[in-house]
Amino acid sequence: MRHSIIITIVRHGQTSGNSNRLVEGITDTPLNENGLSQAKLAGEWLQDETFDIVYTSTLKRAKQTASIIVDKNANIDKNDQNFIELALLRERDFGVLEGISMTEHTALAAKEGLSWLEYTPEAAETLDDVKHRAESFLDRICGFALNSKNETSKALVVTHGFVIAHLIQLIYEQTNCEGVPIDVIKNGWSIAEDRTKMLCIMQNTSITRFEIEVDETTLKIDSAKCVLFKSSVHLNK
């Protein structure tokens, strides 16, 4: 037997660190004025959607974004049961390089003969560390779908660029689903001149949505379809 779940994944709104091109990672910064505006626009665009549960990173910028979207939504009243904060969804920890400029980060990586994506600073998480967290979160999503009384469950997920990229890649690898641009998947975690081809690059509050079927026997994703991919149409007002 299969159970369905629709997952709407939103990157947090802009922070001062984002606008100043700093490495934020787990540095706990709030949204700036533009980020608050972006979150409101995302909330307005999603206001008529139904969400059974909301999962958010424990970092302020994600929690603020999630709260604004929920406040704008006509079909959910926030409470301790349907608004869940998870450390699993936090951004990649960049260790000793937290808070430095991306220019400095790139230069330090180059000294090691690596791109800024490949480089793992001292005390930082690797890409695989973040991938494992994303895998654990997908297991949780599957469990929610299987235990839901609804034929099709609906979840809002507010998190960060690296986590979203891993979620997209994992779902694609498990299902070979349509709707994910093949050139982005093939580029994977490589640097590209065209930043739209990079898996982890996306606008603040961009929205990705998957329609997923979960297999009751394997407790894993059986099939999926990506119906929105890093969409920022709500920002074009």
Q: Which residues are catalytic?
A: 12, 91
Percentages of the chain per state (helix, strand, coil), in multiples of 5:
40, 20, 40
Q: How many Å is the Cα radius of gyration of the chain?
A: 17
Closest by Cα among 9, 200, 175 to 102:
200
Rounded to 5°, the CA angle 201-206-211 comes to 105
Contacting residues for 182 by C-beta, under 8 A, at least 6 apart: none
Whole-number Cα distances in Å, 6 to 27, 97, 143, 166, 200: 30, 36, 13, 17, 21
Calculate the CA dihedral of residues 12, 14, 16, 20 and round it to 10 degrees: 110
The tokens for 104 are 């400095």
